[in-house]
Structure 1
Amino acid sequence: MTTFPAAYLSYLVEFHATRDFFECHELLEEYWKEHPEDPIADTWVGLIQLAVGLYHERRGNKRGALKMMVQAERRLSLSPLEQLGIDKDHLENQLLPRIAALQSETDAEYRDLDLRLTSDELLEQCLQACKDRDLIWGAPSSAFGAATIHRHTLRDRSDVIAARQEAYEAKKRERNG
């Protein structure tokens, strides 16, 4: 039995069942930062960038989407995605035309991207997690509202703002001390 990190399983569930790409980014970024010596750290970063790219694309931020998708493609094309149960060729065949479309000046309607899983065991774990949470694997983005699509603009950032203010005040006291 292959053991995958819980954060990765959660990423896949969010990616395919809630389409909450902001949450995908948060989950894997936390894992990646907690495991800096992980031999596939670059793969985690590529998957984070993929989620961020999709988040931007769905919100209509073509420039941000393009930047993240190009970086994700570069990393993921060199990554051992097979070890993570992802069909690398299928992903590449979705990413390259998407990048080309983002580079063009035409406005294309957003469409979901799915990671084809090659591991039956991994897919079964993801489907069970969906069942446990009453989610539907492969649900379309159109099933979710603005709260998911524009999540970063709607979240409470008061703790981040307070921490930044405190750091600023501490630095100011240090300089004047």
Structure 2
Amino acid sequence: MFPLSYIEFLTHFHGDRDFFECHEVLEDHWKKNGMKKHSVWVGLIQIAVSFYHYRRGNRIGAVKMMKKALEILDKNRTEIYSLGISHDQLMPMLIRCCHEMQTGSSYKPISFPILDSELLTVCKERVHSLGLVWGGDDELDEFIINKHIARRDFDKSRFETVKV
């Protein structure tokens, strides 16, 4: 039906709001499948990166990524629909988010307008199985908010403990 990485992306986006992980799972899918630089997958990755920056207060980075995502997704209408998402609802939502990012509005999460009922059911069940609420508010978990820093520190600590 849909790639597992896409389901994982939607699970993180709407469940734990781990936008860094959203980026990771789709980037891996994109690279493994040799897709083009302006594919719909890159647009979805950029949305996640935009929200990661937005929640951390990096408005410039958030706006830059959202504008790139909008440009890609605007050109991939059919592909968005093939992923079970309403392009007609998604685009105005993202334009509004970009405007809010530019004007300094406080971060608030969004939910993708998923049209495919089977996809929505699978994703909601997956989120529920993790003990999370679909489309709920952020818990503002510091680890998730600053995951790139925690990951970098984790990577450094692995090298510091290696004995020769």
Aligned alpha-carbon RMSD (Å): 2.0
CA–CA distance in structure 2, aligned partners of residues 41 and 32 of structure 1: 11
8 Å contact 2:84–2:115 — kept in the other structure? yes
Structure with the greater alpha carbon radius of gyration:
1
Aligned to 1:84: 83
Report sequence identity in percent.
37
Q: Which runs of no fewer than 5 residues in structure 1 stay unpaired?
A: 163-177
Q: TM-score, normalised by structure 2?
A: 0.87
1:28 and 2:26 matched: yes
Aligned to 1:72: 69
Question: Runs in 1 of length 4+ with deviation above 6 angstroms?
Answer: 159-162
CA–CA distance in structure 2, aligned partners of residues 83 and 147 of structure 1: 33
1:101 deviates by 3.0
| Count of residues in Structure 1 that have an aligned counterpart in Structure 2 | 156
1:132 deviates by 2.3
8 Å contact 2:27–2:45 — kept in the other structure? yes
1:161 deviates by 7.4
Aligned to 2:140: 144
1:100 and 2:96 matched: no
1:157 aligned partner, one-letter code = D
1:132 and 2:129 matched: yes
Range 24-33 or range 108-117, more displaced: 108-117
Q: TM-score, normalised by structure 1?
A: 0.81
Paired residue for 1:49, among 40, 46, 64? 46
1:41 deviates by 6.7
2:135 aligned partner, one-letter code = G
8 Å contact 1:85–1:118 — kept in the other structure? yes
1:136 deviates by 1.3
Would the alpha carbon gap of residues 158 and 91 (structure 1) be closer, same or farther in structure 2, given more than 3 Å must change? same
Q: Which runs of no fewer than 5 residues in structure 2 stay unpaired?
A: none
